[in-house]
């Protein structure tokens, strides 16, 4: 009801301004009606105009790319399940490195923080070089690196997808995080990755069996030594 009444008042005001309707004079003998009704209509119209103007301005800013539309992300990122090619230790090492250079502690590495990282690693980059490094793994186009995008650097390095002289390749090489000796590191195809994973699993099982056999052998030797000692004791009785 309030919306219909306000709409009617706005329409009437436009008609009056266009000359399509003659404003009705209010009896001066009723100042309460003049002060109450007219003032109330004026205030309501002003508030509606202000609210509508603010909404239109906000929409215009969003259309022009000036404003920023915030929408919370519902996606939950789990590094251990998404980056299965890396061991838990490797991911922990990458996380430690990421947090070390995330000076702002906001969960991102921006251009200036990346600049400091490369300088500390002994491989300073130009401003354009730093921008290109971010661009290569910046999937959400926010011009900074989240932890997932940071992990993409090492995934690309392990798969041989980075140019040898690229900034990201240098970063991965100087990070002292080994991504080539465990699991399926360096596998360039899905099939090769699967084969490497099976081989790694088989090797692990073989090592377990070897340890078990070694322990069994040691137990047998201990049993023989105990039996020999008992025989020696009996000989002296």
Sign for the pseudo-dihedral over CA of 31, 34, 39, 44? positive
* One pLDDT digit (tens) per residue for the chain, 237 residues: 555 665 676 667 666 666 655 555 544 444 454 455 555 555 555 555 666 666 666 666 666 665 554 444 446 789 999 999 999 999 999 999 999 999 999 999 999 999 999 999 999 999 999 999 999 999 999 999 999 999 999 999 999 999 988 999 999 999 878 776 444 444 444 445 555 555 555 555 666 777 788 888 888 888 888 888 888 777 776
Convert 156-183 to b/e letters by CB count within 10 Å (16 or more is b): bbbbeebeeebbbbbbbeebebebeeeb
Look at residue 33 in the predicted model and tell me its pLDDT: 47
As a whole number of angstroms, the distance between CA 10 and CA 12 comes to 5
Look at residue 181 in the predicted model and tell me its pLDDT: 45
**Is the full-model pTM beyond 0.85?**
no
Query: What secondary structure letter does DSSP report for 180?
Result: S
Please give the C-alpha separations between residue 174 and each of 124, 136, 154, 208, 228, in angstroms, as whole numbers. Answer: 12, 18, 11, 34, 59
Token couple for 89: 């230790």
């Amino acid at each position: 009801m309030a919306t219909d009444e306000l709409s009617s008042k706005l329409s009437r005001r436009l008609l009056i301004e266009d000359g399509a309707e003659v404003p009705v004079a209010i009896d001066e003998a009723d100042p309460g009606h003049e002060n109450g009704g007219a003032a109330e209509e004026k205030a309501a119209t002003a508030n509606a105009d202000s609210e509508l103007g603010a909404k239109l301005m906000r929409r215009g800013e969003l259309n022009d790319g000036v404003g920023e539309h915030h929408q919370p992300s519902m996606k939950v990122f789990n590094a251990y399940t998404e980056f299965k090619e890396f061991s838990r230790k490797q991911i922990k090492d990458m996380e430690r490195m990421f947090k070390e250079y995330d000076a702002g502690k906001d969960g991102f590495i921006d251009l200036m923080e990346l600049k400091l990282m490369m300088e500390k690693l002994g491989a300073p980059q130009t401003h354009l070089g730093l921008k290109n490094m971010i661009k290569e793994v910046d999937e959400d186009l926010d011009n900074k690196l989240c932890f997932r995008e940071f992990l993409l650097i090492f995934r690309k390095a392990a798969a041989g997808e980075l140019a040898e002289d690229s900034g990201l390749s240098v970063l991965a090489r100087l990070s002292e995080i080994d991504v080539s000796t465990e699991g399926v590191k360096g596998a360039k195809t899905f099939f090769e990755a699967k084969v490497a994973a099976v081989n790694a699993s088989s090797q692990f099982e073989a090592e377990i069996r070897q340890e078990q056999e070694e322990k069994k052998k040691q137990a047998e030797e201990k049993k023989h030594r105990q039996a020999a000692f008992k025989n020696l004791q009996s000989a002296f009785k």
